[in-house]
Chains A and B, each alone.
Chain A
Amino acid sequence: MTWAPLFLSLQIATIAMLISVVLGTALSVLLAWKRLPLPDLFSALVSAPLVLPPTVLGYYLLVSLGPHSLIGRAWHAVFGADIAFSFTGAVIAATVGSLPLVIGAVRVGLDAVEPNLIAAARTLGASPVRVLATVTLPLAAPGIVAGAMLGFARALGDYGMTQMLASVQFDGLFGIKNTSPASIFVYDELAALREGTARSMALATTVLGIVLLFIANRLTRRLGRG
């Protein structure tokens, strides 16, 4: 039995988590600074993946990023490859699912920073960017780490959107060739009546997910203690 699907899923989840954390933290800060137009509408839009069926989201992604879409054609012209049914497509699907969870956790982290600490930094001569880098983000770190943890877990466990946008075998990074993510692999193996490999992959994914969440939980608690 090959463990390539598990490694592929880990690669997709890790990259999706990193993108979600950077993008989610930036958007959360802009929301906190009231620099985004129509913040309520924006919040509703980024939270939509939490309430919409994954197949509906997958459909939107397929329509907007597929080979016949404007973005899909532009991507192909620049990189000579398609977004849909590729590693890139799987990462985008996982990122869309992770982003609302990351934003939610980061916003809780930012809200927990005492306003007086930010005011104190400003009165000590720190520019808004320096306040953000040296006071706000370090103190919001437990929220950011919790967001990363949730985002990773969500990305690792994604099935619906990945099924719509990346339900074929494709190449990953570091020599992972021609395989599908673990969630798709488990379904395909069951459908092919190979229950043994499906069970092994399901168990490995479960153990890995729980171990990573356990480590992230401990890290979050340690950061929270300062």
Chain B
Amino acid sequence: MAELVAELAIARGELVVEAELRCPPGITCVMGPSGSGKSTILAALAGLAVPERGRIAVGDAIWFDRSRGIDVPVHERSLAYVFQGLALFPHMTAMHNVMYGMRHVVTVDRPAKARALLDQLGVGHLADRKPRTFSGGEAQRVALARALGRAPKLVLLDEPFSALDRELRAQLCGLVRELAGQLGVPIVHVTHSVAEARQLADRVIRIAKGKVVAAGAPADVLAGPIELE
């Protein structure tokens, strides 16, 4: 099973993020206050931001190694990224959004696979509709289906449930747990919510001011009162 191993040093404005991450298959929740560098870490893992130093590897595949001059372009990293605002393509239907990342699938098979993913996530009825007509929860499910359509080796979730109410959030957490079991790849889930981390995480990493301050099992890292702000 491929594990994500990353050592990163990256500056974003005033903040200098220096972090070592080890994320085995399953869900790793990255927690920390606003501005602590969580999204910067995700951007670096995805290749959307270039670290000044470090190394990123998923299993045997090295995506970034500053010392060896390796920097695999974003589109060649086999990953799925669910953005905070979801970033569904507004000019495409749900079906076309999901098929967008399916370049590895033979063209004629894409519609059936995309439809199956949408059905699996309970939004098959939205296949021919565009994102502006989706509710918050529906948009989340379509975004997850699109991410899964990529058949990724790493999944990055940047606070995808932050705009949802508690009930919907609980439903989607259950769904992500189920998907994590099926995918068998590392899922890095950035969240502010301790409850969400307790419900989802196999492992928790806490970040403060760009540094890892705790990492381990949820029972250890989330024991006692947690102050994130």
Contact = CB atoms under 8 A, between A and B. Distances in A.
Contacts of B156: 123
The 5 closest A-B pairs by CB, nearest first: A124-B101, A120-B87, A123-B81, A122-B74, A116-B87
Nearest to B90: A226
Contact of B89 (A120, A122, A125, A128): A120
Contact of A139 (B76, B83, B91): B91
A128 to B, nearest CB: 8
A124 B101 CA distance: 5
A120 B91 contact: no
Nearest to B156: A123
6 contacts: A114-B85, A119-B81, A123-B46, A124-B150, A125-B76, A139-B91
A46 interface: no
A43 B78 CA distance: 38
A125 B103 contact: yes
A138 interface: yes
B101 to A, nearest CB: 4
Given A125-B75, A126-B100, A127-B75, A120 B90 contact: no
B121 to A, nearest CB: 17
Interface in A115-173: 116-117, 119-128, 134-135, 138-139
Interface in B42-96: 46-48, 74-81, 83, 85, 87-91
Contact of B132 (A123, A127, A226): A226
Contact of A126 (B46, B75, B85, B146): B75
Given A116-B85, A119-B48, A226 B91 contact: yes
B75 A120 contact: no
Contact of A119 (B77, B78, B87, B132): B87
Given A116-B85, A122-B48, A127-B75, A226 B130 contact: yes
Contacts of A116: 83, 85, 87
Nearest to B76: A125
Contact of B90 (A123, A125, A128, A139): A139
A156 B115 CA distance: 49
Given A122-B75, A123-B80, 4 more contacts: A119-B74, A125-B78, A125-B150, A226-B132
Nearest to A116: B87
B48 A114 contact: no
B65 to A, nearest CB: 20
A116 B160 CA distance: 14
Contacts of A128: 75
A123 B156 CA distance: 10
Contacts of B46: 119, 123
A138 B91 contact: yes
Contact of A120 (B47, B77, B83): B83
Interface string B180-204: 0000000000000000000000000
Contacts of A114: 85, 87
Contacts of B90: 117, 139, 226
Contacts of B80: 123-124
A145 to B, nearest CB: 14
Nearest to B151: A125
Contacts of A122: 47-48, 74-75
B81 A121 contact: no
Residue in A119, A120, A121, A135 with the greatest tally of chain B CB atoms within 10 Å: A120
Nearest to A127: B75
A125 B83 contact: no
Contacts of A126: 75, 100
A117 B80 CA distance: 14
B44 to A, nearest CB: 13
A147 B203 CA distance: 52
Contacts of B89: 117, 120-121, 135
